[in-house]
Structure 1
């Protein structure tokens, strides 16, 4: 569990700079330049992610049950994951209504993904992983929306083409992950 916790601290820590140390982050971007900062940020993120994956695998070898969710919640999680994939796709597809309305659909996707997994799993390592991501996404969404309001940020209006593209890409990504990659990478068949 310590490796998982360390990975979460590193990964979510670097991704929380906008929440807790935005001025420091801006100074580092100026100091290292945009590409230099992105390189450092990416390296730290990758280290954190590798530690999360490795630590999660170690923690799964010694499970500590906290609760046993009913089977139907596991199936409901597939729907949560589908919504999450569409929201994440909407974060990168220009001119869609989800981005126009919420500004930060990826963070909404992370929240839905985390809640779905918290409902569907009940081991301590699951609660730690998904609970940490849920807390991070909630805090960053609040801070980001507050920053948007203060700056008077307006996102481009959504279009039907943008909506359809986000929907198609999100569903395709979900299908590939749910039907093949989840089992191959994580060892759990979410459709079983």
Structure 2
């Protein structure tokens, strides 16, 4: 559990560094980007190792129907990740599509995982994403939606999202995780 918590602390700290200490981050210049990327990568590795190595400590037992809710939310999450790149109409409505995707991803996983390690991992990432949105909105209260719109951007994003969702479901099965119940 220690590795999981350390990984979360590194991940969250590195991501929030720019928002919490912008002057210090700016003073590091390009070298700072590498340091932040290294901390994020190390945090990710530690989170994975810590999660995979954590003892299963049941906190609650999710009902079976939540698997279907999770699957729908995961598809929506993957779609949200692509909204900014797709430059469709939704990019003009959703200010933080990637962070909204992360929040949806984390919430979906909290619905179907009732063990302590999952609650720490997915709850921690959900908390980070919420904090990131709050800090960004505080630092940059005015938001100008992207001017460029690709008329078929949202439709293309649906197709790409379905493929990515299928790949993610398949990868889960490689680790012995049944995505569809």
Q: Do these two structures clear the TM 0.5 threshold for a shared fold by scoring above it?
A: yes
Whether 1:18 and 2:13 are equivalent positions in the alignment is no
**Residue 84 (structure 1) aligned to one of 77, 80, 96:** 77
Q: How far off is 1:58 after superposition?
A: 0.6
**Residue 173 (structure 1) aligned to one of 150, 158, 164:** 164
Q: How far off is 1:157 after superposition?
A: 4.8
Say whether the 8 Å CA contact 1:11–1:45 is kept in structure 2: yes
2:36, 2:151 → 1: CA distance?
35
1:161, 1:78 → 2: CA distance?
25
Say whether the 8 Å CA contact 1:97–1:157 is kept in structure 2: no
Matched residue, 1:189: 178
Q: Which runs of 5+ in 1 are unaligned?
A: none
Matched residue, 1:143: 135
Q: Which runs of 5+ in 2 are unaligned?
A: none
Say whether the 8 Å CA contact 1:103–1:145 is kept in structure 2: no
Q: TM-score, normalised by structure 2?
A: 0.91
Q: How far off is 1:39 after superposition?
A: 2.3
Count of residues in correspondence between the two structures: 181
Q: Please give the root-mean-square deviation of Cα atoms over the aligned residues, in Å.
A: 1.7
Q: How far off is 1:142 after superposition?
A: 2.0
Kindly indicate which of the two structures has a greater share of residues assigned to helix: 1
Say whether the 8 Å CA contact 1:73–1:120 is kept in structure 2: yes
Q: How far off is 1:97 after superposition?
A: 2.3
Q: How far off is 1:72 after superposition?
A: 0.4
